[in-house]
């Protein structure tokens, strides 16, 4: 049986295929993630940070936002959660995820030696979709 087929029987209204429904959900989540990262970048900018990079990807991981203010380099992890049923956004940043972010930050700094002399801080910007509030946790990995 082909679950992705969109064939309608006579007299029955055609529905989107399962694949189309899954793609729509994934696209919606991706768009919400992009909006969350945009809000986080705006918040950092409002606090005097210059955004150096967004969604930096390398073989060791991904960095959502890299921002600088004077002698401080902030590596920001942005998380969006629709509910706190499974611990909320902060709980989703596991030790393994933290380790990947640290490795990606080392990789980034290896190729940007002018930034390697700055103090580095790992922050989390957490967006709760239910009320739209954004929580900023400085030094989130300590």
* Annotated domain spans of the chain: 18-137
Positive/negative CA dihedral, 53, 54, 59, 61: positive
Query: Which pLDDT belongs to residue 7?
Result: 47
Residue 50 structure tokens: 């210059």
Tell if the pTM clears 0.85, that is, is over it: no
Pairing of strands 61-69, 50-58: antiparallel
Query: Which pLDDT belongs to residue 89?
Result: 62
Query: Which pLDDT belongs to residue 70?
Result: 96
Q: Tokens 């972010």 label which residue?
A: 101
CATH no., domain 18-137:
3.40.1350.10
Query: Which pLDDT belongs to residue 2?
Result: 45
DSSP code at position 8: P
Question: Which residues in the chain show pLDDT less than 50?
Answer: 1-8
């Amino acid at each position: 049986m082909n679950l992705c087929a969109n064939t309608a029987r006579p007299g029955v209204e055609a529905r989107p295929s399962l694949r189309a429904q899954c793609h729509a959900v994934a696209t919606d989540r991706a768009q919400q993630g992009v909006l969350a990262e945009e809000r986080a970048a705006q918040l950092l900018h409002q606090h005097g940070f210059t955004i150096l990079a967004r969604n930096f990807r390398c073989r060791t991981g991904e960095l959502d936002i890299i921002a600088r203010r004077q002698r401080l380099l902030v590596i920001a992890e942005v998380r969006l959660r629709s509910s706190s049923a499974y611990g909320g956004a902060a709980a989703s940043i596991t030790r393994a995820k933290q380790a990947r972010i640290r490795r990606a930050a080392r990789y980034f700094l290896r190729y940007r030696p002018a930034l390697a002399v700055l103090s580095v801080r790992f922050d989390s910007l957490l967006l709760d979709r239910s009320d739209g509030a954004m929580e900023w946790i400085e030094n989130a990995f300590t």
